[in-house]
Amino acid sequence: MIRFYIGIDQTGAVNSKGILKPLKICIYDLKKQTVQFKKIPHLDWKHLAILLDFKICRSEVFILVDSVLGLPQKANVKKKSIQNLIQMTSEFEFNQKPFGMQTAHHFFSQFISNLKEQPKRRVEVLASANSLFNLHPFQKNISCGTFRIWKDLSADPSWYHIWPYQKLEKDKVLIAEGYPSHYWKSIFNLKSRNPEMLFDKLKPNWQKQLLQQKVLTDQDALDSFVLAWSAHHFMSSNKLNHLPDDISEGWILGL
């Protein structure tokens, strides 16, 4: 049974010079009915376990991350699995830079070098989401943060499995792709990512916790909260068992 629902927002996790910044995360403890806002230097089990409890079973943890976890069918991936693609980031650099906009762009561009136009996954079309392959504008470019998440995950693939590609495995953390902008609208019924309006939607207990941790002016932290909240929402409504017809491209949970 899932106890910890973790939302991870990767916006700004790599600066314009390709230097890593901590990932902002929100931990929703279902048992204690608490949320905590933290930062971790890397997405790995070592740092998560420190924040949770080393006695916690990995299968009690569900992470919903604002990161693309799949490539379009039209991309030239030669039937590589998501695990294969993630592992390819491990040693990849551009101009001796292991992270950053140009590094991410050159990594993902290798999969569309023979295509006339940048492809999108079906779920991205449904969500009106930006393409992973867009180079500009930098602040809205999902590839930079996605590359960083993939590289973090490439260090040790043994502690997690990714929805919807893999069946749930014992003693592994479940990771799924989330889209916070969509959840602000679909779950909280808000037309925009407005902190005050989100605050008004919450029960007093959650309002108190957000006020105490002073996150109402931090858009990225609020996105991580929305992701954690949505992870619990989708788990309790059995959405993870509603698989898309074709899982080869991955999927945004809740679409």
pLDDT digits (tens, 9 = 90+) for 173-185: 999 999 999 999 9
Most confident among 17-31, 46-60, 224-238, 240-254 (mean pLDDT): 224-238
pLDDT at 10: 86
Tell how many helices (H) and how many strands (E) occur in the chain. 9, 6
Which domains occur in the chain, in start order? Answer: 4-69+154-241 (3.30.420), 82-151 (no CATH)
Q: Does the pLDDT of residue 18 top 90, yes or no? A: no
Q: What is the DSSP string of 110-139?
A: TTSTT-SS----HHHHHHTPPPTT--SSGG
pLDDT digits (tens, 9 = 90+) for 201-224: 999 999 999 999 999 999 999 999
Task: List Cβ neighbours of 1 (8 Å cut-off, separation of 6 or more).
Answer: 60
Q: Which of 10-19, 86-95, 101-110 has the lowest mean pLDDT?
A: 10-19
Question: Strand, coil or helix: what is 28?
Answer: strand
134: left (phi over 0), alpha (psi -120 to 50) or beta: beta
